Amino acid sequence: MATLFISDLHLHAERPGGIEQFLHFMRTDARAASALYILGDLFEAWIGDDDTDPGHAPVIAALAELRRKNVPCYFMHGNRDFLIGKRFAAATGCVLLDDWHVVEIAGQQAVLTHGDLLCTDDTPYQELRAMVREPAWQREFLAKPLDERRAIAAGLRERSKTETAAKPAEIMDVNQAAVEAALQRHGVSILLHGHTHRPAVHEFVMDSAPATRIVLGDWYDTGSVLRWGGSGFALETLAQL
């Protein structure tokens, strides 16, 4: 049995194909897994656990069903769904993880992160991230009516789209020094993340020892999954439905 890792599904009601792909994955691959890790951006947007978005209900139900089948599920926040909270955890049975989290899979240790913390060259983004991760900002945001929250979130996404279009591509990729610092800090040689939507396995040498950075892909066209079992890991693209 393998442990599965996914991220950057960006599920929302306006893209039903993505939700279908996820529900199919949950009924098949996920059910046969020893555990499922979701490394953020499961949803395109999350403005609070009290949101009534019709796209969320089937996703929550599928996660709860996986829990009933005794497959543990772990969730780490992404930059789109960092407001997922205790009510979501209770409804789905997902365990919320801190960003950074060290796991041991088949005798190998790896540090998990959504990935945006590694994009240290993007200073304006890191400033915005620091603001919206402040407990005081979140309390104030969550106290607003849903309509107002929806409008603020749409504004932030619009701003991010405009800024992203104006930034050179390398600014929005991870910073290699940040990658190596994270590996050192956690005393591991494998780092696994999503966020950049640039699926790949990067092998490099750090302190004269081999190190690996695995990047999960997004689910825009079809699913991207890291399957990690006794015989090692494989970064896979799911067949289109």
Q: Give yes or no for residue 186 binding Mn ion (CB under 5 A).
A: no
| Residue of the chain from 26, 37, 41, 63 that contacts Mn ion (CB under 5 A) | 41
| Piece of the chain touching Mn ion by CB under 5 A; list 71-79, 122-130, 184-192, 206-214 | 71-79
Q: Give yes or no for residue 92 binding Mn ion (CB under 5 A).
A: no
Nearest distance, CB of residue 81 and Mn ion, angstroms:
9
Q: Give yes or no for residue 29 binding Mn ion (CB under 5 A).
A: no
Q: Give yes or no for residue 218 binding Mn ion (CB under 5 A).
A: no
Q: How far apart are CA 201 and CA 95, in angstroms?
A: 27
Q: Give yes or no for residue 79 binding Mn ion (CB under 5 A).
A: yes
Q: Give yes or no for residue 7 binding Mn ion (CB under 5 A).
A: no
| Piece of the chain touching Mn ion by CB under 5 A; list 35-43, 61-69, 89-97, 172-180 | 35-43
CA distances from 122 to 112, 163, 166 (A): 20, 10, 12
CB 75 within 8 A of CB 38: yes
Q: How far apart are CA 20 and CA 139, in angstroms?
A: 33
Q: Give yes or no for residue 213 binding Mn ion (CB under 5 A).
A: no
Beta strands (DSSP E) in the chain are 3-6, 35-38, 73-76, 95-97, 101-105, 108-113, 190-193, 200-206, 209-215, 224-229, 232-237
| Residue of the chain from 78, 199, 217, 223 that contacts Mn ion (CB under 5 A) | 78
In this chain, which residue has its C-beta nearest to Mn ion?
A: 195
Nearest distance, CB of residue 147 and Mn ion, angstroms:
25
Comparing CA positions, the residue from 216, 204, 215 lying closest to residue 180 is 204
Chain residues 113-142 in contact with Mn ion, contact rule CB under 5 A = none
CB atoms within 10 A of CB 226: 26
DSSP state of 86: H
Strands laid side by side in the 190-193 sheet = 101-105, 108-113, 190-193, 209-215, 200-206
Nearest distance, CB of residue 225 and Mn ion, angstroms:
17
Q: Give yes or no for residue 195 binding Mn ion (CB under 5 A).
A: yes
Contact residues: Mn ion, CB under 5 A: 41, 78-79, 195
